[in-house]
């Protein structure tokens, strides 16, 4: 049975689960990041105002981790990039992840709604700069030259996610919404499925049922490196161009 028409646009939402098999921790699993450190201490504007050194140390460690040669895009990232390049109706990948694994897999039309570890932002002039090194309160902004306000280009709790208008437009026109590797516990991303259900087919690919599983037309459980390539093959069909599936 055809899943959707070949000219139907697809929106894919990804979360930390898609990067788990690349060696990056998720947030809410038993061994997740929030089991080791409190959100209030490292991932809010108030935390940064109170103790910028501690917040920089938290993100510096995560930025160093994505620079580790052992951390590479996995089969799920590569399958999504292949789908995004081959699907006739176009694919928008909206990721909650701040790692650069979708980027390194060559994913076109990629939106980082929670920002990116590999970029820094000046709190004074707003300039966003590619950044691979550690950040500190002494770091001077490459654009305005002032120190003391450089922060990770990451969206903290209580801040607005990025590119929400672009995301809303993609959701409005999609015929298929696929959620991959997210617990469905943080809004607005967790609300996307409710926005599109009824007018787009909705599929969840996750290790286990998420908080929003019951809202999806179809749920497929298993590790991303297995279920995502299988799903992409189903969409693209034997000729790899979306001619059946
Ligand atoms: N394959 C597929 N799914 C997996 C795998 C895997 N190998 N390992 C874990 N998962 C699933 C978990 O079952 C869980 O449902 O990935 C999901 C990860 O959920 P979270 O840890 O909550 O991460 P995420 O949903 O991305 O969090 C959303 O919360 O803390 C904020 O800004 C942060 O972007 C993050 C947001």
Tell which atom from ligand 1 comes closest to the C-alpha of 15: 26
> Given 56, 112, 114, 153, which residue is catalytic?
114
Known catalytic membership, residue 114? yes
DSSP 147: B
pLDDT at residue 74, as a whole number = 98
pLDDT at residue 245, as a whole number = 42
Tell which atom from ligand 1 comes closest to the C-alpha of 223: 1
159-189 pLDDT, tens digit each:
999 999 999 999 999 999 999 999 999 999 9
Given its phi and psi angles, is residue 194 left (phi above 0), alpha (psi -120 to 50 degrees) or beta? Answer: alpha
**In angstroms, what is the span from residue 207 Cα to ligand 1's centroid?**
9
CB-ligand 1 contact for 207 (6 Å cutoff): yes
**In angstroms, what is the span from residue 184 Cα to ligand 1's centroid?**
8
pLDDT at residue 85, as a whole number = 97
Q: Is 240 helix (H, G, I), strand (E, B) or coil?
A: coil
What is the rounded CA–CA span in Å between residue 134 and residue 152? 10
Place of tokens 């999504």: 80
Question: Residue 21, preceding bond cis, omega within 30 degrees?
Answer: no
**What are the beta bridge partners of residue 219?**
204
Q: What CA dihedral angle connects 105, 107, 113 and 117, to 10 degrees?
A: 30
145-161 pLDDT, tens digit each:
999 999 999 999 999 99
pLDDT at residue 243, as a whole number = 53
DSSP 213: G
**In angstroms, what is the span from residue 210 Cα to ligand 1's centroid?**
9
pLDDT in tens, the chain (245 residues): 567 899 999 999 999 999 999 999 999 999 999 999 999 999 999 999 999 999 999 999 999 999 999 999 999 999 999 999 999 999 999 999 999 999 999 999 999 999 999 999 999 999 999 999 999 999 999 999 999 999 999 999 999 999 999 999 999 999 999 999 999 999 999 999 999 999 999 999 999 999 999 999 999 999 999 999 999 999 998 777 765 44
Which residue minimizes the CA distance to atom 36 of ligand 1? 186
**In angstroms, what is the span from residue 20 Cα to ligand 1's centroid?**
8
CB-ligand 1 contact for 82 (6 Å cutoff): no
CB-ligand 1 contact for 209 (6 Å cutoff): no
């Amino acid at each position: 049975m055809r899943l959707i028409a070949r000219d139907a646009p697809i929106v894919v939402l990804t979360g930390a689960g898609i990067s788990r098999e690349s060696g990056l921790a998720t947030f809410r699993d038993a061994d997740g990041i929030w089991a080791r450190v409190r959100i209030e201490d490292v991932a809010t504007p108030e935390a940064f105002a109170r103790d910028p050194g501690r917040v920089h140390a938290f993100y510096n460690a995560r930025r160093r981790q994505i620079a580790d040669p052992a951390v590479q895009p996995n089969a799920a990232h590569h399958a999504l990039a292949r789908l995004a390049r081959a699907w006739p109706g176009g694919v928008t990948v909206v990721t909650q992840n701040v790692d650069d694994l979708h980027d390194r897999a060559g994913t076109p039309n990629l939106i980082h709604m929670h920002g990116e570890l590999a970029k820094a932002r000046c709190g004074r002039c707003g300039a966003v700069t590619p950044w691979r090194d550690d950040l500190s309160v002494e770091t001077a902004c490459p654009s305005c030259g002032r120190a003391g306000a450089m922060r990770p280009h990451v969206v903290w709790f209580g801040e607005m996610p990025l590119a929400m208008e672009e995301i809303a437009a993609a959701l409005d026109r999609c015929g298929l919404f696929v959620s991959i590797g997210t617990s469905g516990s943080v809004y607005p991303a967790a609300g996307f499925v409710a926005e599109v259900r009824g007018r787009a087919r909705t599929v969840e690919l996750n290790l286990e049922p998420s908080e929003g599983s019951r809202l999806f037309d179809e749920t497929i459980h298993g590790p991303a490196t297995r279920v995502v390539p299988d799903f992409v093959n189903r969409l693209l069909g034997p000729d790899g161009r979306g001619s059946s599936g």
